[in-house]
Amino acid sequence: MTLRPLSPLALRDRRSWVGRRCPQRAVRWTAWSIWLISHHDSPSHRRAGPQIAVESLPLAMWTPQEVTERIASGSLLPDSMFESLDVDTLLNERDASFDDEWVRAAEFLQFAWKRHPAAGTDTPAIDAVRVAAFRRAFDASSGHHDLAATVSDDFDLICRRALLGVEVPFITALEQAYDAQQILIERPPKKPDAPAPFTH
């Protein structure tokens, strides 16, 4: 049997099954697929797009080629990362902690990706990363499909951010967690606002 992570549009067909099995976990998939299907071509999104603070950032170690090589070498998603995981608790904690931030980051990247000059040539490389991350997590977690899909979705965001050359603080937190061989389960702290300039 060939295992493939679900594409965002395919999640539309999976929503009812996920909702019956775990209503909390259906929230992200439902919001993400609804946005893709119904909103990203609307006039308002064509004009402005989702609002999220970003700044230029070098590509670092998260391009699709680098991620694929790191997964193959075992420096990303090693077996030890999945040992003794309470997967259902982990996924529920993620959903409760930062589901809204994940969706906002995904919306921003999807909007930016539609305007990325190399989107057509880069998309197959991202799809390959999704498959590699899914298979690695699926095997290491003894066949837990929901966890593998979550990891695959995270790496989709990570690689798109790298290729776009922008910084999204939430995705940076995902990268740091995976670099530490952990799965992010807590909302990353927000950067403090810069102090107001001193005036007489």
pLDDT > 90 in the chain, percent? 58
Query: How far is 27 from 194, CA to CA, in rounded Å?
Result: 33
pLDDT > 70 in the chain, percent? 64
> What is the distance of C-alpha 199 from the center of its chain?
42
189 φ, ψ (degrees, to nearest 5):
-65, 145
Query: For residue 154, what is the enclosing H or E element?
Result: helix 145-164
Query: How far is 121 from 141, CA to CA, in rounded Å?
Result: 32
The confidence score (pLDDT) of residue 40 equals 39
Short-list 61, 84, 63, CA closest to 140 = 84
- Cα torsion angle, 65, 163, 9, 105, sign: positive
The confidence score (pLDDT) of residue 191 equals 57
Tell me how far CA of residue 79 lies from CA of 68, 73, 91, in angstroms.
Answer: 16, 12, 18
pLDDT in tens, 117-132: 999 999 999 999 999 9
The confidence score (pLDDT) of residue 38 equals 36
Whether 118 contacts 63, CB under 8 Å:
no
More confident residue, 15 or 140: 140
Tell me how far CA of residue 197 lies from CA of 47, 192, 194, 200, in angstroms.
Answer: 33, 15, 9, 10
Q: Point out which residues pair with 56 in neighbouring strands.
A: 166
Residue 105 clears pLDDT 50, i.e. is over it: yes
Average pLDDT taken over every residue of the chain = 76
56 φ, ψ (degrees, to nearest 5):
-65, 145
Residue 184 clears pLDDT 60, i.e. is over it: yes
pTM value > 0.85? no
Q: What is the amino acid identity at position 73?
A: S
The confidence score (pLDDT) of residue 190 equals 65
pLDDT in tens, 34-76: 333 333 344 444 444 554 444 444 445 899 999 999 999 999 9
Short-list 41, 19, 39, CA closest to 30 = 19
For 156, other C-beta atoms within 10 Å of its C-beta total 21
